[in-house]
Structure 1
Amino acid sequence: MTENMWLKYTLLVERETEDAFVAEVLASPYTLGWIEPQIEVLTTENGYDYAENTDGPAVGYLFEPMQDSEGAHTERLLSYILRWNGQVSLKEVEQVPEENDSWKEEFREVQVGDWWIAPTWTDPGALETAQHILWIDPGAAFGTGYHGTTQDMLLFLQEMSLTGKKVLDIGTGSGILSLYCVLNGASLPVCAVDINPQSEYQVLVNVSNNHLPESAVNVVIGDAQEPSVEERLPKLSDLILLNIGGDEDVAMLPVVERHIAQGGVLLLSGIVEWNRDHVVAAYEQAGYQLEKERKSDEWITVMLRKRT
């Protein structure tokens, strides 16, 4: 037995089984590393886009500490994945050194306005003068607080009174914006939506990190444009947050229209500068007035208000 070695299992997961696989593995003795995103990032005349690769299964990685022979561990894993009736198969087994905490050095505290975004392992001395801290651990869901779109959304939120506001956060990722709203008096629960099934787990981790009850955030997994998902959203929201991409912001306009309260505020981000006019024009034509905007590198974030 080698105490400092782990086994890394490479699995092929059929797409229709991916959500169920992730949900069960998160509660199993195995450690889920990640599921390979089956997307190809493209640059188009309207900004950044992606093409989804629907050919073949997704690739998933599981880990466990090596406490027995490799053969014994592999036999147990093969027995474990039988429950998916051939939809999950083992491609490769590797012995890898036990991970230490060096990877955590890549994720450090960052100040955004009056708030700090920090992982839970941050040296307390680094936050001695911080008055407001949002504890966010990175995970398989998008959102560490480093990206300009997230920071500009947070800066806009810090200029607003959120007390009693009903908030809908579409593209929540790790839940940074939703949790900021909860901590600043938004009406509970804040509704947090994401297409990534791993987002729910990461949001709940960060809910706990910030000493909040699970009921503070209602996580909805799926595409908000799908009727079965949209019916789970609040009927009307005073504030809607969209940080998903310029073309996606426009595609989500009908959903926004059905769920924003009169006089409600909308924050749009994920927009690139060469797509900005297209996105803003679509919302202005639908009855929204541009109030403010911010720019970080090529990224644009706008605040609009629904005309009464």
Structure 2
Amino acid sequence: MTENMWLKYTLLIERETEDPFVAEVLTSPYTLGWIEPQIEVLTTENGYDFAEDTDGPVVGYLFEPMQDSEEAHTQRLRLYIQRWKGHVSLKEVELVPEENDSWKEEFREVQVGNWWIAPTWTDPQALETAEHILWIDPGAAFGTGYHGTTQDMLLFLQELSLTGKRVLDIGAGSGILSLYCVLNGASQPVCAVDINPQSEYQVLVNATNNHLPESTVNVVIGDAQEPSVADRLPEMSDLILLNIGGDEDIAMLPVVERHMAPEGLLLLSGIVEWNRDHVITMYEQAGYRLEKERQTDEWITVMLRKQR
């Protein structure tokens, strides 16, 4: 027996089988890590893009503590997935350090301006001198506080008075920006929108991590451009946060226009330097004035104000 080691199984799961598979495996001896689409990152003239294989299977990761030989464990898993009659297949088996804790080493505290973003398992000594802490566990939703776009958005937010502001956060991920706004006096609930179904759970977990009632954030899952989703958004917002990508920022312009209050503020990120001028021009033509700009590596974040 190998102590403190786990087997990590990479599975290919047909999309129509994903929901029943997840429901079943949660009651099984296996630990479900996460499910993700097969995505290829592309570099285009407009910045970065993501090509998702919408026809192929999704990728799932299961974990199991190592107790017998790898061969014995693998054989039992193959027998277990036979119930899905070929719709779930084993792609890869890896021996990894105990997944209960080892993966947490990838996520550490980070200082952004006067605030620290930290997972709940952070050593208290590392935060002894921290003035403000936002507790964020990454989970399955994007948003750890490490990315330059998130940090630049937070730096801009720290320059603003958020008291009483109606906030709409599109591309909320794990809720970093939404929860920061709640903690700094924004009108409740802050509306957090994301297309990832896992986002709702993670935002609410992080609200609890920060001693906030779940009612302080209204999580809306879906594409804000879809009428059924748009109907669930606040009628008017004083501050809209948009951190999803250059082309997506442009595509979301009608949504921003529909929900932006007169003279409201827009924080726009996910822009790369070679797509900056096009994105800003599109918003300027719609009546927004560029007020401030930040850049981290190739990533651009801007503050725009809606003109009367």
Tell me the TM-score normalised to structure 2 length. 0.87
Give the letter aligned to residue 187 of structure 1. Answer: S
Give the letter aligned to residue 89 of structure 1. Answer: V
| Contact 2:32-2:61 within 8 A present in 1 as well | yes
Corresponding pairs, count: 303
Are residues 191 and 21 of structure 1, via their aligned partners in 2, closer, same or farther at CA, if it must alter by over 3 Å? farther
Question: CA–CA distance in 1 between the matches of 2:182 and 2:205?
Answer: 15
| Contact 1:17-1:87 within 8 A present in 2 as well | no
Unaligned runs of 5+ in 2: none
Aligned to 2:268: 268
Question: CA–CA distance in 1 between the matches of 2:141 and 2:25?
Answer: 14
Question: CA–CA distance in 2 between the matches of 1:10 and 1:16?
Answer: 18
User: Matched residue of 2:191: which SS?
Assistant: strand
Aligned to 1:158: 158
Aligned to 1:121: 121
Tell me the TM-score normalised to structure 1 length. 0.87
Aligned to 2:240: 240
User: Matched residue of 2:289: which SS?
Assistant: strand
Question: CA–CA distance in 2 between the matches of 1:9 and 1:287?
Answer: 51
Are residues 291 and 21 of structure 1, via their aligned partners in 2, closer, same or farther at CA, if it must alter by over 3 Å? farther
Question: CA–CA distance in 2 between the matches of 1:239 and 1:291?
Answer: 14
The alpha-carbon deviation at position 27 of structure 1 amounts to 6.0
The alpha-carbon deviation at position 229 of structure 1 amounts to 1.7
Per-residue CA deviation, residues 211-257 of structure 1 (Å, 9 max, x unaligned), is: 11112112122111112222221111111100001111000001111
User: Matched residue of 1:11: which SS?
Assistant: strand
Larger deviation: 142-151 or 56-65?
56-65
User: Matched residue of 1:162: which SS?
Assistant: coil
Aligned to 2:108: 108
Are residues 226 and 28 of structure 1, via their aligned partners in 2, closer, same or farther at CA, if it must alter by over 3 Å? farther
The alpha-carbon deviation at position 77 of structure 1 amounts to 4.6
| Contact 1:13-1:87 within 8 A present in 2 as well | no
| Contact 2:182-2:190 within 8 A present in 1 as well | yes
Are residues 294 and 271 of structure 1, via their aligned partners in 2, closer, same or farther at CA, if it must alter by over 3 Å? same
The alpha-carbon deviation at position 10 of structure 1 amounts to 3.9
| Contact 2:268-2:303 within 8 A present in 1 as well | yes
| Contact 1:266-1:305 within 8 A present in 2 as well | yes
Question: CA–CA distance in 2 between the matches of 1:215 and 1:302?
Answer: 30
Are residues 164 and 34 of structure 1, via their aligned partners in 2, closer, same or farther at CA, if it must alter by over 3 Å? same
Aligned to 1:200: 200
Larger deviation: 102-111 or 1-10?
1-10
Question: CA–CA distance in 2 between the matches of 1:17 and 1:217?
Answer: 32
Unaligned runs of 5+ in 1: none
Are residues 269 and 2 of structure 1, via their aligned partners in 2, closer, same or farther at CA, if it must alter by over 3 Å? same
- Say what the alpha-carbon RMSD is for the aligned residues: 2.7
The alpha-carbon deviation at position 101 of structure 1 amounts to 2.7
Aligned to 2:172: 172
| Contact 2:272-2:299 within 8 A present in 1 as well | yes
Are residues 233 and 6 of structure 1, via their aligned partners in 2, closer, same or farther at CA, if it must alter by over 3 Å? same
Percent identity, aligned pairs only, is 78
Per-residue CA deviation, residues 84-129 of structure 1 (Å, 9 max, x unaligned), is: xx69524368584533633323222111111001111111111111
Question: CA–CA distance in 1 between the matches of 2:303 and 2:25?
Answer: 37
Are residues 21 and 220 of structure 1, via their aligned partners in 2, closer, same or farther at CA, if it must alter by over 3 Å? farther
Matched, 1:223 2:235: no
Question: CA–CA distance in 2 between the matches of 1:4 and 1:145?
Answer: 29
Moved over 6 A (4+): 66-69
